[in-house]
Chains A and B, each alone.
Chain A
Amino acid sequence: MTRKAHILLVDDDPAENLILRALIRKMSNIDIELHYCQTMDDALAFLRSGKPVSMILLDNRLQPQLDFRETVPALRHQGYIGPIGVISASLADAYFQNLEEYGADFRIDKAEIDATAIDFILREYLPQE
């Protein structure tokens, strides 16, 4: 009963892609395909291509955009209605309290992402088939 999930990681640091890739390789109960985009333009083009995306993990600060308050609405305007998680190292900043108003679903600290966290998030946001 292995499920398939497509995660799109948007992060200007390619190292994060390597780290996440290594992490999900350890997860056996779900078949995750990780797609990686380094910029918002690439991410928007990826969504336009119509390839399946079950969840987006988005680095909070992507140049030249300000932060998730700009990037999440841009992803939503592309018609994406799946879950979006914002990754940041400073979740305590006050504007994060309005995360849902900008169309994001959840926040997670870079340091908190481990196999347990990914497993939890997928269970929480991806409907059981």
Chain B
Amino acid sequence: MAALLENHRRYDLRDELEKALNRVDFFRIFHTMALRFGFSHFGILQLGNENDACMLSTRLVLHDLPSGLAEEYDKRHRFGDSVFYKTLHRSAISSVWRTDDPGCDANQNLLVQLGFELLVSVPVHAASTGARYAVLFLGDGEDIDRAEHVALAYDAIAAFDYFYRVALANKAGMGLTPRETEILKWISHGKTASEIALIVSVSEHTVNSHTATILKKLDVVNRTQMVAKAIREQIIQ
């Protein structure tokens, strides 16, 4: 990943963001950020078109909510109907939500539905594509003051920027790493993910995640097309 210029000020987060390798590292960064500002949980939400049917559980690309909470929510409520979701499409200004917000009917109030007291939403976007996301912080605090809100929003924007580039970006056209090329070679020899994990001495999870990255980089949809394209492009013999 190309290094950023120092003009992009990342303050205290710089070193940690530069070192982040995988989704667990970003979980650590966002979770710590939430705790530092007095929240208990975070979620990164992918925004779509306002009128598309949408479920909370499928829009969360990374979160630390208790397992099953978003799925339970989707069984009972329509995320697309919540005032919160609609507001995200109206303005990209960061917003603060409380359970007793006037003008927000309780049965459309996301916070009441999820069982938290305070929500801060920081709209963000991917620099390369403009795709919109929002970083949410949930907790039981009373309110957040201006200085904290501004600092939290800044940190969330910086951390999301790295998260997108490391974990979400479409890496089509980028070169394969030596490890990815090695895994591609074993796939072309007909080995399964668990066999490759044994051969290469990594976990099956790592093999699958490298395979997903190779699919993105070669811009192909399955392992067959991957091998065909790799031979055509002379990445493997």
Residues of A within 8 A of B (CB): 29-30, 73, 76-77, 79, 81-85, 92, 96-97, 99-101, 103, 105-109, 112, 116-117, 119-125
Is A29 touching B66 in the complex (CB atoms < 8 A)?
Answer: yes
CB-CB < 8 A to B32: which residues of A? 112
Is B203 touching A83 in the complex (CB atoms < 8 A)?
Answer: yes
B22 CB–A CB distance under 8 Å: yes
Is A81 touching B203 in the complex (CB atoms < 8 A)?
Answer: yes
Grouping DSSP codes into helix (H, G, I), strand (E, B) and loop, the A interface class, with mixed when no group exceeds half, is: helix
Closest beta carbon of chain B to A128's beta carbon, Å = 10
Is B67 touching A30 in the complex (CB atoms < 8 A)?
Answer: yes
Is A100 touching B24 in the complex (CB atoms < 8 A)?
Answer: no
- When C-beta atoms are compared, the residue in chain B nearest to A99 turns out to be B21
Given contacts A29-B67, A100-B202, A116-B64, contact A81 B25 (CB under 8 A): no
- When C-beta atoms are compared, the residue in chain B nearest to A94 turns out to be B19
B15 CB–A CB distance under 8 Å: yes
CB-CB < 8 A to B198: which residues of A? 79, 81
Residues of B within 8 A of A (CB): 15-16, 19, 21-25, 27-28, 31-32, 40-41, 64, 66-68, 179, 194, 197-198, 201-206
- B194: which of A81, A92, A105, A125 is its contact (CB, 8 Å)? A81
- B179: which of A30, A101, A119, A123 is its contact (CB, 8 Å)? A101
- Which of A84, A100, A119, A125: most chain B Cβ within 10 A? A100
Q: How far is the CA of A73 from the CA of B15 in the complex (A)?
A: 28
- When C-beta atoms are compared, the residue in chain A nearest to B194 turns out to be A81
Is A81 touching B41 in the complex (CB atoms < 8 A)?
Answer: no
Given pairs A112-B32, A116-B31, A120-B27, 5 additional interface contacts (CB within 8 A): A82-B203, A103-B206, A112-B31, A116-B41, A117-B64
Is A76 touching B201 in the complex (CB atoms < 8 A)?
Answer: yes
Q: How far is the CA of A97 from the CA of B198 in the complex (A)?
A: 22
Is B24 touching A103 in the complex (CB atoms < 8 A)?
Answer: no
List 20 A-B pairs, Cβ < 8 Å: A76-B201, A81-B194, A81-B202, A82-B204, A82-B205, A84-B203, A92-B16, A97-B19, A100-B22, A100-B179, A101-B179, A103-B202, A103-B203, A103-B206, A107-B25, A112-B31, A112-B32, A117-B64, A120-B27, A121-B24
Is A124 touching B23 in the complex (CB atoms < 8 A)?
Answer: yes
